[in-house]
C-alpha cells in the first residue's frame, strides 16, 4: 500500500502518518502484519520517478510504502517494568 500526501508540508506529513496509524492498527487487529518498504520513498530521485510513473499531480508526494500480509507471530520486544521507567509525581 502506498500512502501519498497531497502536499509536501508538515501538516500533510502528520495527516498521512495518522492515516497510516489507523490502517496499521486495524490491520493488526485483524491479524494482518505490516512492514515498511520505504526506500522508494526515501531516496529523492527514486521518489520523483515513482511520482512521475504514478502521474501524481503538483506537490503530491509518495511518502510511505507498506507491505501487508499474513505472517508467523514474532517474539515481542522485551519491556522494562513501568516503575523502572517513570518516576512518581514530585520525585526527581
CATH topology of domain 2-71: NADH Oxidase (3.40.109)
Sheet strands side by side (includes 2-5):
2-5, 61-69, 33-36
18-76: pLDDT as tens digits = 999 999 999 999 999 999 998 999 999 999 999 999 999 988 999 999 999 999 988 88
Domain residue ranges in the chain: 2-71
Half-sphere exposure of 9 (CA within 13 A, CB side): 5
pLDDT number for residue 92: 66
**CA end-to-end distance (rounded Å), the chain:** 45
Amino acid at each position: 500500500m502506498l500512502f501519498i500526501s497531497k502536499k509536501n508540508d508538515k501538516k500533510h506529513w502528520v495527516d498521512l502518518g495518522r492515516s497510516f496509524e489507523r490502517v496499521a492498527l486495524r490491520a493488526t487487529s485483524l491479524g494482518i502484519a505490516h512492514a515498511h518498504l520505504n526506500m522508494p520513498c526515501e531516496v529523492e530521485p527514486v521518489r520523483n520517478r515513482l511520482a512521475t510513473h504514478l502521474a501524481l499531480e503538483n506537490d503530491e508526494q509518495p511518502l510511505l510504502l507498506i507491505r501487508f500480509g499474513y505472517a508467523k507471530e514474532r517474539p515481542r520486544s522485551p519491556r522494562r517494568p513501568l516503575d523502572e521507567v517513570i518516576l512518581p509525581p514530585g520525585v526527581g
